[in-house]
Amino acid sequence: MLELYQAEDCPYSGNVREKLMELGVSYVTHNPRTSGGELRNQQTLDEMENIGGEDQIPFLVDHRRGIEIYESDDIIEYLDEHYD
């Protein structure tokens, strides 16, 4: 299962969502905050920070492979490599 911690108003998150849709990959989104930092869901933010150690979006968790990745370019490269 893929989980994407992101913000709807974040262009970097949008690039990752676009790649996931292009590849036809199923994923779950979480919106802990806006790209400007306005809190949307404290529990989700806490989960993201517990898993990855940072309050940074986008953040992808690939449970099947045990991978956690920040940075949209790195996430897109990973998706191309493993899901294309």
Where would I find the beta strands (DSSP E) of the chain?
2-5, 28-30, 59-62, 67-70
- The pLDDT, as a whole number, for residue 58 is 98
Q: Please state the pTM of the whole predicted model.
A: 0.95
Profile the chain (84 residues) by mean pLDDT over runs of 10 residues. 97 98 97 95 97 96 97 98 94
pLDDT score for 66: 97
The first and second tokens of residue 65, run together, are 């492979």
